[in-house]
Structure 1
Amino acid sequence: MAAKFRPQSAATMPPQTTSRVASFPPIALPNARVLILGSMPGMASLAAGQYYAHPRNAFWPIMAALLGFDPAMPYVERTRALLAGGIALWDALQSCVRPGSLDSAIDQSTMIANDFAGLFARCPHIDHVYFNGAAAERCFRLGVLPALAGFDLPCTRLPSTSPAHAGRSFEQKLAAWRAVMQHRQMPQ
């Protein structure tokens, strides 16, 4: 069951002038070692039904550079490359009300967290959580952690790959994201 930010379910929330958006299922295998979390897919991703579908989002080019695949290959092949690299991908939020794509527009009173207890039970080898930006970290710490008794995995915030966060060059973001590579393989 998803952790809730408020003591009400999505079904009993008051009607909103903006529609509720919902995340995708996790991309994860039981042997995953690393979990990368976003906050909530943007409008381009929701329309495409794919994580990080905005053409200027740096996520797939960064993952391609780290894992050695072509960022232009079909989405299903890119997700297979993540899985083969021991990387799981998900969002902190199951759903929320947000006009547009900006994380800053998320109505915090409407946020419902994803079921991380279930994910960690299905993927017991995850030993590090990486946040794709500050909003993902904030959503996880506020809405997920209170429901995860005994959670003690190391967590690291990485610079957001969103085109809205243009304060760092691609090369600077890639350099920071190299940290993911140290945890992604199963021990021998």
Structure 2
Amino acid sequence: MTAPRHPPPPSPTRAARAFEELYEAEFDVVTSYFARRTSDPQTAADLTADTFVAAITSFATFDRSRGTARGWVLGIARRVFAQHCEATTRGRDVVARIHGRRVLDTDEIADLVTRIDAEREGRELIAAMAALSPADREVIELVDLVGMAPKDAAKVLGMSSGALRIRLFRARGKVRDLASNGGQR
């Protein structure tokens, strides 16, 4: 058996002219193909360019006996668009994983709105606490926000229960003063 004979490849200048003719004949078709699939002009232009880059790199393998140039270029355009969609989806998945976000359903949103509203006083307390020393903030956070018993909070902070109670009393007084003065000292 002898191998099937293929026509010799065109000369470089003839191949360049043939590709130029294909480009001019099919550019609008390929651009329209992408314009129907995206409303972003930059994306349509990029995908069109990617299609013709792929076409020029494989132009030597184009066989007119297997189909038209338009069909061949649109086949490339379909693959370019599929790769674009896959990359876009993969990118969204990566971003979602990085941000740890997922789409919330209506019930979850309503629950979160309720929780956020319920924590309004806690947010105001945290804002007022910003003016306190780090030690005073820790005492208030552990006892008033986390709900630890003062004796347990004292162990966490490495101080006596009596010292913690005095610091807690003074810190609460500072927060009350700050809250009544609108956060001003």
Q: TM-score range by the shorter chain?
A: under 0.3
Structure with the higher fraction of residues in helix conformation: 2
Structure with the higher fraction of residues in strand conformation: 1
Larger RCO: Structure 1 or Structure 2 (Cα < 8 Å, ≥ 6 residues apart)? 1
Larger radius of gyration: 2
Q: What's the TM-score once normalised by structure 1's chain length?
A: 0.22
